[in-house]
Structure 1
Amino acid sequence: MSSNRYPDAVDVAIVGSGPTASAYARILSEEAPGATIAMFEVGPTVSYPPGAHVKNIEDAERRSHAQRASEGPGAGAETVNSPGAVKSGERRARPGTYLLPDGYAFPGEDGLPVAAMSSNVGGMAAHWTAACPRPGGKERIPFLPDLEQLLGDADRLLGVTTHAFDGAPFSDLVRARLAAAVDAGRTPDARVQPMPLAVHRREDGGLVWSGSDVVMGDATRENPQFELFDESLVARVLVDEDGRAAGVEVRDRRSGESRQVAARYVVVGADALRTPQLLWASGIRPAALGRYLNDQAQVVFASRLHGVTADDAPRAADGALSEQSGVAWVPYTDEAPFHGQIMQLDASPVPLAEDDPVVPGSIVGLGLFCAKDLQREDRVAFDDDARDSYGMPAMRIHYRLTERDHSVLERARQEIVRLGKAVGEPLDERPFVLPPGASLHYQGTTRMGEYDDGASVCSPDSEVWDVPGLFVAGNGVIPTATACNPTLTAVALAVRAARKIAEKLTGTLLMSELDNRLTK
């Protein structure tokens, strides 16, 4: 970890420290080891190694402090501990995140009332659920022939496994009941299966959730040419007279001083809201910037497993509950355009009678995420006459659910009740639709395209059209309507782009070394 004494120049300047920004640092460290890399993060370091998931902090008070420190301008606001809690209509964020204070909805529009962000080293990967399913059907990007290989690379960087909950006593039961209701007529890859998760087990059996620290890995941390600067706001991407990215203007949030750092390549991997914000503030404004914004409408339900007893659910050695139900995955299909996660809840979401003992692990939550009907007018715009708490152009979100979206949502309501009954005994009569923005899976605002046709921001290599040397990263690059968790796909796209930079840098570095030898 470096202090905020910024270098004059680097080969690559990376804005943000989430999983996709970290993927650039990792691939460049592995494949262009001589390249100098500076990573700038607006928030503080809240966990160790830098970027580690806060769930790995065992002390509850320290974990809560890390979450509060991640909440940027929203620190101190009341938060919720369960995604389902936002159904009340109150605008509260989850721990570790903060909401937009205004501009999240306009008259006649649905808006994104609970759109949230986090400001900390590791980004949202310090707080996420670590679900890493692969896209299927129309979720997949059709013009990337190497997508499957890239997804495998992303699995490696994130540390993805489907075996973390192999010992959970109810996991096979839950999947079997779901499969009986879902699998008929589906291809093997679209049938019910364990959720791929970015998590591993320690030798003592404890779970370790992947954050950006895992993506960076030792290759990045031990790279003497890599520096990470926290509490550093990048206010502008610098562009030279030829229209090429030339570096960044960064402000030290501790001292208030600003510096310009020259760079051969600039990667902006903030998030799907702040990445287009930085491009806009830099005067880089392609026609599709901020547009095709899409969230995943989310329906939740809860059910109680029947036919299980306390004898089926032993406690862990230290007296704490062991994981019982694992995490089951119902994949998206084009015919059923939603993605399902089914997992154990820590407690019943509805009050139960005092004389009604709950078998540990027998309360499961069901969630269906719906693919959005993509619309160019769904967008995040920016107000040059108003500033946010960081001094950047204020965000203004315009977002509507179409008739097709409402139709898919109604199908999802019916499907989740059917799945709840298949698993056990529903705890409520009706499922809840969470407010727009609750998924935290915002996409499309810096979308990739096969051609520069005005409907995309960047090339298949994530390089911004008409600004050579400037790359964008994160969920915002995904051009398709997805229902599955987008992190794996976004990391895969980052791997592809980072390799392109590494190829260019390696050639440049070799030529420079050869010139030096000839000069001597």
Structure 2
Amino acid sequence: MTGRYPDAVDVAIVGSGPTGAAYARILSERSPGATIAMFEVGPTVSDPPGSHVKNIADPVRRAQAQHASQGPDADAATVSSPGVVKSGQRMGRAGTFLLPDGYRFDGEDGLPVAAMSSNVGGMAAHWTAACPRPGGSERIGFLPDLDELLDEGDRLLGVTTDAFDGSPFGGIVRERLSVAVDEGRAPAARVQRMPLAVHRREDGRLVWSGSDVVLGDETRGNANFALHDESLVTRVLVAEGRVTGVEVRDLRTEERHVVRARFVVVAADALRTPQLLWASGIRPDALGRYLNDQAQVVFATRIRDLPDLDTVVPADGTLAEYSGVSWVPFTDDMPFHGQVMQLDASPVPLADDDAVQPGSIVGLGLFCAKDLQRDDRVVFDDDRLDAYGMPAIGIHYLLTDRDHAVLDRAREEIVRLGAAVGEPLDPRPFTMPLGASLHYQGTTRMGEEDDGESVCGPDSELWAVPGVFVAGNGVIPTATACNPTLTSVALAVRGAREIARRLASA
């Protein structure tokens, strides 16, 4: 799947995360004769390329894969190898790296732990694999086919709801949460199993989806598809108002190449996609604006009155399956999304005594929807370069009074939910540093019409440059609280189908 850069392709894809992979997959299925080149700035860290590091059974090899994903500053002091983010610390999770500066401006909140990954598979090599569907105001109202697109996203990501059905305490957790939450909610908004991009092999071992699952055999077997790692796309090339290709720097040799392309898909993440467009001179006023993160509150509780287990639940190399992952969906009345999962493997002490029943500690997390503001944005400095030689990133971000009110409600609600499940370990919830969700959105937002408030149209094609499509969480135009990957992949499906249609009619 790798080789020398081609002179020309039908489609060039920048970024190998799940949305870039979705473009490659849909095009491989619908336009098998089209030539596709995918460029990834980071190295290949797993086998098959793009697979989740949780699937690496050897902890030493897993740690090596995470380290290799941490970009040019892999050994920076802001990388926490156990993956713990504590109060007062600016630390990123293993497999990610933080902005060295520019993450906060004077008088603003900023995103102090905004993080990225550089590796084949992108953040999907490190994610939690949660794939809830958006509800209420999270949904994109001008897309009539959204549900069908989400179904297709489920297919590409391999989403299931039964991976943890054997967990002995999962039903207990959901039953207690349901008593506290479900009254008055529509069925789709009641407590339920979290949809996860996880499946179980015949030998019983869990397999977590990464971009490898999205690419699938259809893409891997496509002789017209090639994946080029350690390849930095420095510019999208435009002539006479239309895309003509990309400029690529081979990070192994530092040589530069021009690859002509009929279509270019930029799927580099919500910070680096607008960065590449900016560096390419594609600078619509909405670029980088409406940046939004999901402020996150966490809490830990010990499940009370648990039955004794006859045997210890075996781990599959990454997780002992006691309570699985449960979901408290977002509603407009309660504008946060809840994720409840066991925390027994956490490196943070979760109880004072040593006689904790295995699997009895669960963590609750509530993600809050942002009050969208045009001035929350990512900006770029042409006079100052980042470690890759691209315009340096800066982040303007401020919580509004409404944001603070929602956070206050989330802190109250998470304590109530924790008490419903069991005995809280600490009466005070912990508010994670801004950026900790890794769910940055809005910076290349989709719009129904070109009114200056969006970067792309309903098919994810730039208003400003025909033939350039954007992909990833940055395309989502709504304020979501749920994990955004499924929605982003669904939007990528729509864009890929449009490219396939045009290729067929050319």
TM-score by length of 2: 0.98
Q: Which amino acid aligns with 1:503?
A: R
After the TM superposition, which residues 329-344 of structure 1 pair with which residues of structure 2 at under 5 Å, given as runs?
Answer: 329-344=327-342
Q: What displacement does 1:81 show?
A: 5.7
Where does residue 268 of structure 1 map in the other structure?
Answer: 266
Indicate if the aligned counterparts of 1:272 and 1:474 stay in contact, CA closer than 8 A: yes
Structure 2 CA distance for aligned equivalents of residues 294 and 174 of structure 1: 31
> Cα deviation per residue 1:79-128 (whole Å; 9 max; x = unaligned)?
33666x32322111101000000000011000000000000000000000
Q: Which amino acid aligns with 1:303?
A: T
CA 1:319 to 1:11, structure 2 compared with 1: closer, same or farther past 3 Å?
Answer: closer
Structure 2 CA distance for aligned equivalents of residues 347 and 414 of structure 1: 26
Indicate if the aligned counterparts of 2:108 and 2:397 stay in contact, CA closer than 8 A: yes
Structure 2 CA distance for aligned equivalents of residues 369 and 119 of structure 1: 25
Structure 2 CA distance for aligned equivalents of residues 400 and 446 of structure 1: 19
Where does residue 370 of structure 1 map in the other structure?
Answer: 368
Return the match for 2:388 from 384, 387, 390.
390
Where does residue 2 of structure 2 map in the other structure?
Answer: 2
Point out the more displaced range, 305-314 or 94-103. Answer: 305-314
Residue segments in structure 2 that go unaligned for 5+ positions in a row: none
Indicate if the aligned counterparts of 1:350 and 1:427 stay in contact, CA closer than 8 A: no
Point out the more displaced range, 264-273 or 88-97. Answer: 88-97
After the TM superposition, which residues 47-446 of structure 1 pair with which residues of structure 2 at under 5 Å, given as runs?
Answer: 47-78=46-77, 79-80=79-80, 85-241=84-240, 243-311=241-309, 314-316=312-314, 322-347=320-345, 349-350=348-349, 352-354=351-353, 356-446=354-444
Structure 2 CA distance for aligned equivalents of residues 111 and 307 of structure 1: 42
Structure 1 CA distance for aligned equivalents of residues 144 and 482 of structure 2: 20
Q: What displacement does 1:74 show?
A: 2.4
In our comparison, the structure showing a higher alpha carbon Rg is 1
Residue segments in structure 1 that go unaligned for 5+ positions in a row: 509-520
Q: What displacement does 1:353 show?
A: 3.8
> Cα deviation per residue 1:488-509 (whole Å; 9 max; x = unaligned)?
000000000000000110122x
Structure 2 CA distance for aligned equivalents of residues 140 and 432 of structure 1: 28
CA 1:507 to 1:345, structure 2 compared with 1: closer, same or farther past 3 Å?
Answer: same
Indicate if the aligned counterparts of 2:275 and 2:380 stay in contact, CA closer than 8 A: yes
After the TM superposition, which residues 29-48 of structure 1 pair with which residues of structure 2 at under 5 Å, given as runs?
Answer: 29-48=28-47
Q: What displacement does 1:312 show?
A: 6.0
Q: Which amino acid aligns with 2:361?
A: I
Structure 1 CA distance for aligned equivalents of residues 310 and 435 of structure 2: 38
Structure 2 CA distance for aligned equivalents of residues 192 and 320 of structure 1: 25
Structure 1 CA distance for aligned equivalents of residues 480 and 317 of structure 2: 40
Structure 1 CA distance for aligned equivalents of residues 150 and 289 of structure 2: 25
Where does residue 503 of structure 1 map in the other structure?
Answer: 501
Structure 2 CA distance for aligned equivalents of residues 332 and 424 of structure 1: 22
Q: Which amino acid aligns with 2:375?
A: E
Indicate if the aligned counterparts of 1:321 and 1:360 stay in contact, CA closer than 8 A: no
TM-score by length of 1: 0.95
CA 1:317 to 1:330, structure 2 compared with 1: closer, same or farther past 3 Å?
Answer: closer
Structure 1 CA distance for aligned equivalents of residues 249 and 36 of structure 2: 18
Structure 1 CA distance for aligned equivalents of residues 330 and 181 of structure 2: 11
What's the secondary structure of 1:181's corresponding residue?
helix
Indicate if the aligned counterparts of 1:26 and 1:220 stay in contact, CA closer than 8 A: yes
Q: Which amino acid aligns with 2:56?
A: I
What's the secondary structure of 1:304's corresponding residue?
strand
What's the secondary structure of 1:250's corresponding residue?
strand
CA 1:346 to 1:353, structure 2 compared with 1: closer, same or farther past 3 Å?
Answer: closer
How much identity, in percent, do the aligned residues show? 74
Return the match for 1:456 from 454, 476, 480.
454
Q: What displacement does 1:316 show?
A: 2.3
Structure 1 CA distance for aligned equivalents of residues 85 and 465 of structure 2: 40
Q: Which amino acid aligns with 2:385?
A: R
Structure 1 CA distance for aligned equivalents of residues 81 and 166 of structure 2: 26
Q: Which amino acid aligns with 2:195?
A: P
CA 1:404 to 1:185, structure 2 compared with 1: closer, same or farther past 3 Å?
Answer: same
